[in-house]
Chain A
Amino acid sequence: MRILALITVIITGIILIYGTVDMPDWGDPNSPASKHVSPGYIEEALEKTATPNIVTAVLADYRSYDTLGETAVIFTAGIACILILRRRRRQRK
């Protein structure tokens, strides 16, 4: 049974490694991922947002909804900690 599991893992691994052969090179400027919106960000971010750091411009302006959601996730984690751990003051008679 363990040998069967090992063979399954090896075959799956070979298939996954075979799948990476067709992937574009690391940082390839002609790959589909860097041809769609990335050139727009790199060329226009400074002009449109007056922010030299493109990462900040994308994070807080172009992808502002995403950052709002991230902040909400952290806030929810804090609220969950309060709800689970904090015990309420007993009602005084």
Chain B
Amino acid sequence: MISITDDIIIRTVSRVLIPFIQVYALYVIMHGHHSPGGGFQGGVILGASFILYLITHGLEEAKERMSELKAGLLSTFGILLYSGIGLLCLIMGRNYLDYGGLSTLLKVIPAQARSLGILGIEIGVGIAVMGVMFSVFFDISTGGILPEDEEDLGVNR
């Protein structure tokens, strides 16, 4: 189990850096229309910020911000957001994932609706990738055993 680090420098620097990393991740997701970037890259940076918090502040504190249950639910939510936008296009009478159909719903011209549809699925991809990144790191770092279950499973560490 990863416990909080004794080094005050590491704790302070990570605490200062994490908000900037997260804002940069959101920038990479939102600015994918104009520059390199998008859901996958931004999601990985966002997941890395939570992993940094986990390895510097320990499992107990990190679970208050992002637990393995939340990460699993968020990754599922990301996929559902992506396919939900596709389904919405189907309901609006277009093909699956043809964002032009969202123009009547959003009251914009079809080209703008496509732009917003792309943004919507990028956000979905970002949330899904972030959840999966954290979930995989959590499982590998703890060996899949939650701290409260250590006693039940008879694991001595």
Contact across chains for B117 and A61 when beta carbons are under 8 A apart = yes
Interchain CA distance A65-B83 in the complex, whole Å: 10
Classify the interface of chain B: helix, strand, loop or mixed.
helix
Q: B75 at interface (Cβ–Cβ under 8 A)?
A: yes
Contact with A59, one of B38, B114, B128 (Cβ below 8 angstroms) = B38
- Bin the interface of chain B by size: 35 or more
Contact with A87, one of B112, B121, B144 (Cβ below 8 angstroms) = B144
Instruction: Name which residue of chain B comes closest to A64, CB basis.
Output: B97
Contact across chains for B152 and A56 when beta carbons are under 8 A apart = no
Contact with A68, one of B97, B117, B135, B145 (Cβ below 8 angstroms) = B97
Classify the interface of chain A: helix, strand, loop or mixed.
helix
Interchain CA distance A64-B121 in the complex, whole Å: 9
Interchain CA distance A71-B122 in the complex, whole Å: 10
Kindly list chain B residues whose C-beta atoms are within 8 Å of the C-beta of A5: none
Contact across chains for A53 and B78 when beta carbons are under 8 A apart = no
> How distant is A37 from chain B, measured CB to nearest CB, in Å?
17
Interchain CA distance A52-B118 in the complex, whole Å: 12
30 cross-chain CB contacts under 8 A: A49-B114, A50-B111, A50-B112, A51-B33, A52-B33, A53-B36, A56-B33, A56-B122, A61-B99, A61-B117, A64-B97, A67-B125, A68-B83, A71-B78, A71-B79, A71-B125, A71-B128, A71-B129, A78-B131, A78-B132, A81-B139, A81-B140, A82-B72, A82-B135, A86-B139, A86-B144, A86-B145, A87-B144, A89-B149, A90-B149
The 8 closest A-B pairs by CB, nearest first: A85-B144, A78-B132, A86-B144, A64-B97, A50-B115, A50-B111, A85-B139, A60-B118
